[in-house]
Amino acid sequence: MAVSFEELTKELKSKNIRLSHQRLKILEFIYNNKIHPTVDEIYKEIQKEIPTLSKTTVYNSLNALIDAGLVKVITIGEHESRYDIVTENHGHFKCDSCDKIIDFEIDIDAFASKELKDFEIIYKDVYFKGLCPDCNKMKNKNLK
């Protein structure tokens, strides 16, 4: 993790958010596995280490981490939410075939529109959808 445990806890204390064992594990998992996991994927993985884990805790923890500004929700899939660590601006590409979400570099801030000068913009997301290189290759092969 980029920030130390102490720094993190201190930063969170101002918001009355505790970095409990469960929450730390969840944060670690998202940080170490940049796969934009669903709640279910997080739950199943952490449950291996904490067998008493409840799914409600995963939801609660994620919401706490979101409030703390450490995690963000990706609503690119129409149904299940997926979660990502908050980092510099990047866009998300979701493959309609294999459901993978792939990061790509993008300077979202370059989009400062004059139209939005009176708006307070807090989040910026760029979502692309289509076929990833692997699935695209597969499709072209099958057409031959």
Partner DNA sequence: TTTCTAACTTGAATTGATTACAAGTTTATT
Partner DNA sequence: AATAAACTTGTAATCAATTCAAGTTAGAAA
The answer to whether 129 contacts DNA (rule: CB under 7 A) is no
Distances (CA, A) of 11 to 7, 38, 55, 70: 6, 26, 26, 11
The answer to whether 57 contacts DNA (rule: CB under 7 A) is yes
Q: Looking only at residues 5 through 34 of this chain, which bind DNA when binding is defined by CB under 7 A?
A: 13, 16-18, 20-23
The answer to whether 55 contacts DNA (rule: CB under 7 A) is yes
Instruction: Find the angle CA(32)-CA(85)-CA(88) to the nearest 5 degrees.
Output: 115
Q: Choosing among its own copies, DNA, none, which partner's interface includes residue 56 (Cβ < 5 to 8 Å by kind)?
A: DNA
Minimum CB distance to its own copies smaller for 6 or for 105: 105
What minimum distance in Å lies between the beta carbon of 78 and its own copies?
6
Q: Please give, one letter per residue, the 3-state secondary structure of 71-96.
A: EEEECCCCCCCEEEECCCCEEEEEEC
